[in-house]
Structure formats: structure tokens, C-alpha cells
Structure 1
Amino acid sequence: MAWQRITVGGIEADVDLTAPTDLSLPVSDGGTTAWEISPATISPLQIGEFIGSVQAGGSVNFNNVQFNPHAHGTHTESCGHVLREIRPLTLNPPPALQFAQLLTINEGALDANGGIPAHFFEGKTLAPEITAIILRLVSPELMLMTAPENLDAPANWSGSNPPYLTPAAMQALVVHGIEHLLINLPSVDPEEDGGALMAHRIFWGIGEDREPGPDFRPEATISELLAIPESLEDGIYLLNLQLGPMINDACPSRPIVFPAKVLR
């Protein structure tokens, strides 16, 4: 390892910039999907006699890509995801560099409905200076769908009723000061909740009317569908959250983490 001392957001730490770990699930043709949406498609453009495929006789590879950021790979959402106002992520992008804490949640910690309860965080040591958290839900089934070591076959989350954050758990993270939440699930809310999206709204401080509430947090972000290696240990990391530039409520993203030792 090659540790370097850096300061980011007022936090000083030793960071190994030579040991990055990519936590993203890429958009791919026929790849992972959710929400009853067909998989993404990547296919050559055809206009008249032109075809954007060298293999098919074209001069260049020139593909059309059809995908939904919320369903087809790792993505980062802004408050515009549940806000009445059209508000793209580009208005309040997350910091390019920040420190984040990786925390593993085993299936035995879930409540009877598959939710992450608030008391789970009460028993954990959340670093007080950290405002970003990466949650890794672990079970044999989930690791087959989320760990990059196991992603030989695309996952289809539709109808799988994956775990989620209970409203109380999300409120606990807000109270702790977490502004950027990353998770290896397709959503922080239940797959079927009648459109309530309570965890999303609590995190951003948005009312049932989809208007900003008194605790509105437009700078906060939620990143979902991460692919977190089983070998990555819980702890503090330097997070580089890279965003695909799209004028939309959500963008494809690529979280990269580096080992860090915060100096206290």
C-alpha cells in the first residue's frame, strides 16, 4: 500500500490512492433490470445503407443505447426523483470526493417484513464526521445478485421484494447527518408500497404532496444498485462518486472507494 495524507471536507486522513475499488454495476445489453422493465439494449444505428457495426460491414461502431437509469445499473438520484418540481441532479451534484463508511447488514438484522429497523444503527458505531454511508445487504440470494464476483448472469429484481429501509431507519440516518446514501439494492423503499416512497421522502425532507417540507435537503443524494465485492471490509473509505452527465432526476454513476484511515 502507498498511503498519502490528504484533507477532504475538513477531514484529514491517510488514503491509499493506488487501491481503488469500483462499486458500480454497468449498463449492458440485456443486463440487470428491475421494476418490470425490459433490460437495456445496445444496438447499431441503421440509417439507409449505413449501419453502425464494423462486424456487419460498417465503417465504425456507432450504437444506440436505450436504458432507464433507475433500473439498469448503478445510479444516483436527486430530490427531483420524488419532487413535483423538475429538478435534475446537476443542480446539486454530490462532492467529487468525500469520506464514506461501509456498513454490512446481514439478513438476520431485518424485521419480519424485510425492512432494516432503526435499532440496527443504534448498535453500530457511525463515524461522527462522516456524511456518506454505503450499506451492503448480505444474504446468499442477495450476494448472487449484487456482488461483482457473482454477476456472470444478469439479475432481474422485478417481483423479488428485496429488503428496504424502514422510515424509522431512514430518519435515524438523517438525524446522524448522512447526506449521501449508497446501497446495493434497487431502492431504499419497498418494491410495492402504493407509491408512498416514505424512505426517499424522509431522506430529502419532502411531504406527501411532493413539495419541499421544513427539513428539505436538496443537496442530499441516494445511490442504488451498487455492486460491492464480498471481499471489501467494513470501514472508512475515500469515495469518488462519478456521475454520467445527464439532465435528469437520476444519472448513471460509478462510485469508487479507496482505503482510508481518518486521523482523529
Structure 2
Amino acid sequence: MLNTHEQEQRSLGRLLKRGFWGVVAIAVLIASWRLSEISPADFWTGLPRLGNWLTRLWPPDFAELPDFLIATAETLAIAIMGTLTAMIAAIPLSVCIARPLSPIPQLAPVLRLLLNLLRGIDTAIFALFFVSIVGLGPFAGVLGVAFHTTGSMAKLYVEVLETLPLEPIEAIEVTGADRLRTFIFAVLPEALPGLIGITLYLWEFNVRSSVILGIVGAGGIGYEVLVSLKLLDFSRLTTILLLILAMVSAIDALSAYGRKQLTLNP
């Protein structure tokens, strides 16, 4: 057993360590405050301007509603195709990384670094990059969504695959089945509810993130938001915001319903 002196030394060591990390946390917060140039005075000064803008938001202007509906559908299409493309890429990547399934385990660390890179670059940055390659339009948005989502989706898929019970996989492998048959008949039935739930969640997220892509020239309703702000046409902006609210709310409800059904009927 430790004597009283040793216990006091350990307690002092823990206290000093906590104090050190507390000082580091405070220093980081102070540095973040200064680097962010946060100015409550500027905020209060700008409030009258904000109030003026809010009063000009109503009533909405529905003159361009058909065009806005097309742009909203384009945003939804970007999210759907981007998520689908990411899913097609994420499945083989996750299989190559997941420990029980990887055909080349030595390659897994490299692929994990790739996923970190894809997740670390925002969808809008990817979209801006692809605008310079494929030109303006929704295709650049699809590529931007697909590349960023592949990183997030594959990482979450790996977590599902690595928590699967090994017994069904081993039972299929004993029969001499190859990797493809093992995946189809042992892995997929167990993992499918989790994979679908992740896909629905990321699709829901991509619908929201796709709204902003029009600002970088990647198609969708975001471009109309940018035009309205440049023109200071707030009635036009209100119509667009109402459409975005309706679209996001509907997708959130649909995604939540789908994930709930998966939970009730795994």
C-alpha cells in the first residue's frame, strides 16, 4: 500500500497536470477570441441594419416561383446523386479497411489517411475545385458532395463492419465461399440496416449542404440566394428561404422516418 507521503505526491502531480491543461485551455480560448476578431460593439452597431433588413423580408415575391422550384429540384438532385456516388465508392473502401474483411490489411492505414483527407476538405471547397475543372453547373456540385461524403460515409461504414459478429462470416468461409459470396451472404445481411441508416443520415446532411453550393457556381438554389443578396431583393429572398425550409423539413422528416423503420424492423 502507498504511504501518506506517496499519496500526497501523486495527488499533487495530478493537480499540477490538471492545472497545466487548464492554463493551456484558457490560453487557447483567449487566442481564439483575438484571432476571430469578435467585437460585441460591432454587433450592436449593426443591429439597426439587421432590423431594417428583417422588415423588408415580407411579403414574399412569388413572381419567379417556377424558376425557384427548378433550382430547388436541382439542389435535391445534387444531394441524391452525390450521396449515391459516395455510397458506391464507400462500400469497397470500407471493406478494404475493416479489420475482419480487408483483403490487404497493409493498405488500410493508407486508405484511412485518404478518408481523413476527404472528410477534412469541405464540400464547398471540393465544388469550387471541380467548377474549375468541369465548369459551372450542378455536375461540379455532385462531385463536391461525392468526394467529401465518401470520406465520412466510408469511415462510418467501417465502424459498422468492424462491430459485426464473426460467426456468420466464419461459417460461410468454411464452405469455401470466396470474398464476394462471403460479403453478399454473411456480411451484407447483418450490416445492411446500419449502412442504410448512415446513408439516409448523410443524404439528409447533403441536402442542407448542397444549398450553399450555388454560391460557388455549382448549381442549385444557392445561386438564387446569392443573386437576391447582391440585389438586396429581400422579398425575392424570402420566397427562396421558404422553399429551402420546406425542402429541408420534408427531407429531415423522410430520413427520420426511414431510420425509425430500420430501428423497428432491423
Which interval holds the TM-score relative to the shorter structure? under 0.3
Provide TM-score, normalisation by structure 1.
0.24
**Higher RCO structure, 1 or 2 (CA under 8 Å, sep 6+):** 1
Bigger Rg over Cα: 2
Structure with bigger helix share is 2
Structure with bigger strand share is 1
Provide TM-score, normalisation by structure 2.
0.24
